[in-house]
Structure formats: structure tokens, C-alpha cells
Amino acid sequence: MSSTSLPPAAYAASLASFPLMTVHRLLALLRHHPPAEAYEVAMGRVAPRQGSLIERVLREATVRDAWALGSRLRPPDEMWQRCTHLGLEVTVIGDPDHPRLLALDPLPPPVLFTRGDRSLLGGRRAALVGTRNATAVGRTLALRLGEGLAASDVHVVSGLARGIDGHAHTGAIAGASSGSGRPIAVVASGLDVVYPREHRALWAAVAQTGLLLSEWPPGADPLPHRFPLRNRLIAALSEVVVVVESRERGGSLVTASLAAERGIQVMAVPGSATNRAALGVNGLLRDGSAPVLGVEDVLVALSLDHRRAESLFVDQRVRPQGGDLDCYRVCDERASTVGMVAERTGRPLLDVAMSLARLELGGWLAHSDGWFERTGSPLA
């Protein structure tokens, strides 16, 4: 096969899979060279830019050997074949379709592999993160928040880990049926390496309804150092980060501090002071994070609180007709009992009782201790 037919992203994907290839090194390569040229630089066939990081690391034999090995193990054509087979979309920093949200990050992802709908990144996004060792209360809450946010048209960003992350996404998938919010998952392995394995179905569901995202090429294992890097992408993709449950130290607190560094609002769900799984969130609250007691709090933080929106204030009550209307008029004038309404309208008690029950059910009258009063805005 001829190397000229390969897209530039294929070289970047191949480079990303090299051993000893860090985010910083790949970033340096791809910032200064187009992908195909960067590949040649890494192979030592083209001189790196003077005084760059790459020039320094290429002086080390171990790096040169590792990268040479990488080019043999995962050549660009093979890598590209794998990406297309998995249906991945690959963008490289500098590409016009590389998400600007991430390109402008202090540490942008040099390459991005995605599966699903990339346009979701244009919507409203909130991260729901938390401990893997969540309590039942925390899991339920994550589920409810995820569902509520998705139902309120907010995308739910998380890490697809065990515990809170997984439940947040499960909730978001459920909520996607009643709103335009979708799950967005950032993972710390290649998109064909499912971790944790019990989340296989959830991965597929997220890719189906939302967006799966990784800066690691197919085949990359979920190595420990990749998780904090994954967390920076979660923070960078979100407008607000909500920590549902977290121990005194944990990945979600890393996400929270990464978000804080980027000026992204961090919110936390309060928990019991004696609950270990809530120590981290309570610490965040003590340090000044805003508390989250429900979906509304997150929506307010996103300025998405539409409860007072003009468009919602449409009287949806069904206008009373006939005898019901007469009964309504009596109670509208002054609070009355069923007997009084019957006297005023001259209708039989049983009819009046049914009218009043319908008006109460319809939201026109309120019933308390035998009295019926007008409720809500008056009938025009």
C-alpha cells in the first residue's frame, strides 16, 4: 500500500501508540510538524525543530529504540485500518474539526479518538463524577441527577468508571428519552479496550446515544497514569463539575481541582459527616463549593433554570363549562362550602359536589376543611 493514500490522522494515531510517547512529546511533535512529517521526525528521518523538546528526547537511545519498535508494531496504515474498522473519528491538534474546547486547554489532547456524535460538544455539559466505592444513596443520586440533567437537555460528562460515573451515565441514557441531554464519556484506554469489563453494555449504549471519547489509540491499556489525564479532559469538557461522592482522596477530587484550575465551577452533593464516601465532597463544600441538592441546583449554575420562563406560564387548565363554570363563579366571588354553592346556583347538592370535585381536580379550586377557594390565576 502506498503511504500517500493515508490521511494525516493515521500518522498521528500511530505516533500516539508508541511506547514512551507522552502527551507532552506528542503535542510537541504535532504542534511543530504536520502528522506525516512528525512521523518522519520520530523515525529520525527528518530533523526535529531546533531546540525543541523532541530534539532533546531523540538524543536518548531508549526513546529512539522504543519509537522504532512502535513504528513496527503499529504502523500508520495498520492503525488507520483499525480505527476505520472500529468506526472511530480521529482528529489531530491543528485540524479545523479538532474540538476547540479542548484545543484551547492548557494541556490539549494532541490526538482525539471519538465514537458517536461529536456535535454534542456544542451543547450544555455538566460533569457528574465520584468515587468507585459509592454508597447505595450515592449511586441512586447519581442516577437521578444524570437522568434529570439529560431530561433538562444537559449532556452528562463522566468517566464510565465503576460507581458514581457508571450510574451517572446510566441515568443520562434513561433521561435521554425525555430530553435532548446525552451521555459523554471520556475513558483512559483505547476505545476498543473496555474497562471495567462489566461496563461493556454501558459503553455500547453510550456510543449509541452519546459520545465516547479518548486521547489514546485503539489497543491502549487503562494504565494508572492515564486516569489523571483522562480527568483533565472531563474537567475541560464541562461547564460545571458536580462531585456526587468522594473519599478524602480520589480521582474525582483530582477532576475537581483540575476544573478549579481552569475556572470551571465545582459543585458537591453534601453527605453525612460520618460517611467515608462523603468526606471528599464535604471537604469541597467546606472549601466553598456550591452544594447540589437536586437537578435544579445544577441547572441554576448553568443558567438553565427555566421554571420562571415566560413560555411555561401558559394556563394549561381546561376551561370549566356549563354548571362547573357557575360553581366556579360562586367560589371565585368568595370562598364557599358545597351547601353555599348549591344555594347560590340552585343546583342539586350531588351535581354541585361533582362540579366542585372536577374544578378541584382541574386546578381551578382548592378544597380545605369543606371550603372551596379559587386557586391560581382567575378565569379570564
Partner 1 sequence: MIAAIESATLLGVTGQPVTVEVHVGQGLPVFQIVGLPDEACRESRDRVRAAVLSSLLPWPNQRITVNLAPSGVRKGGAGLDLAIAIGVLVAAGHIEQAAVEQLVVVGELGLDGSLRPFPGVAPMIACRPDRIAVVPERCWHEATAVSMGQVRCASSLNVVVNALTGGRWPDPPPSTVLPDEVPPPDLADVRGQLAARFGLEVAAAGGHHVLMVGPPGSGKTMLAQRLVGLLPMLDPATALEATMVHSAAGVTLPSSGVVRLPPFRAPHHSSSMVAIVGGGSHSLRPGEISLAHGGALFLDELGEFAPSVLDAMRQPLEEGVIRVARSNVHATLPARFLLVGATNPCPCGGGAPGSCECDETSRMKYLRRLSGPFMDRFDLRVGVERTAVDDLITIGGGESTGQVRERVTAARAIALERSGVLNAALGPSTLDRWAPLSAAATARLRAELELDRLTGRGLHRIRRVARTIADLQGAGDLVEDEHVVLALQLRVRLRRSARLDAA
354 or 379: CB nearest partner 1: 354
The single residue among 334, 363, 376, 377 that binds partner 1, judged by CB under 8 A, is: 334
| Residue of 46, 47, 204, 350 that binds partner 1 (CB under 8 A) | 350
Q: Provide the 8-state DSSP code for 289.
A: P
CA distance 289 to 267: 5
47 counts as binding partner 1 under rule CB under 8 A: no
Is 322 a binder of partner 1 (CB under 8 A)?
no
53 binds partner 1 (CB under 8 A): no
Residue corresponding to grid cell 511506547: 19
The correct pick among 34, 89, 367, 379 for binding partner 1 (CB under 8 A) is 367
Interatomic CA distance for residues 98 and 110, integer angstroms: 9
Enumerate the β-bridge partners of residue 270: none
Closest CA to 184 of 162, 205, 198: 205
Which is closer to partner 1, CB of 227 or CB of 371?
371
Name which of 310 and 369 has its Cβ closer to partner 1: 369
Taking CB under 8 A as the binding criterion, the range among 132-140, 160-168, 188-196, 342-350 that sits at the site for partner 1 is 342-350
342 binds partner 1 (CB under 8 A): yes
Q: How many residues bind partner 1 (CB under 8 A)?
A: 20
Q: Is the dihedral of CA 29, 32, 38, 41 positive or negative?
A: negative
List the strands of the sheet with 211-214, edge to edge.
89-92, 111-116, 211-214, 183-186, 154-158, 124-129, 240-243, 265-268, 290-291
163 CB-near residues (< 8 Å, 6+ apart): 130, 131, 132, 133, 134, 138, 139, 142, 245
Nearest distance in Å: CB 367, partner 1: 7
Shortest Å distance, C-beta 352 to partner 1: 9
Question: Which residue intervals of 74-175 are DSSP H helices?
Answer: 76-86, 100-103, 136-151, 164-175
Tell me the CB-side half-sphere exposure of residue 363, using CA atoms within 13 A. 8
List 23, 211, 233, 356, residue binding partner 1 (CB under 8 A) = 356
326 lies in the site for partner 1, by CB under 8 A: no
Of the candidate spans 36-44, 136-144, 279-287, 334-342, the one that interacts with partner 1 by CB under 8 A turns out to be: 334-342
Q: Does 368 bind partner 1 (CB under 8 A)?
A: yes
Can residue 375 be called a binding residue for partner 1 (CB under 8 A)? no
DSSP element (H, E) containing 89: strand 89-92
Of the pair 315, 333, the CB lying nearest partner 1 is at 333
* Cβ partners under 8 Å of residue 272, min gap 6: 278
Rounded Cα distance, 94 and 115, in Å: 20
User: Which is closer to partner 1, CB of 236 or CB of 341?
Assistant: 341
Candidate ranges 135-143, 147-155, 211-219, 337-345; the one touching partner 1 (CB under 8 A): 337-345
Which residues are near partner 1 by CB under 8 A? 334-335, 337-340, 342-343, 349-350, 353-354, 356-357, 367-371, 373
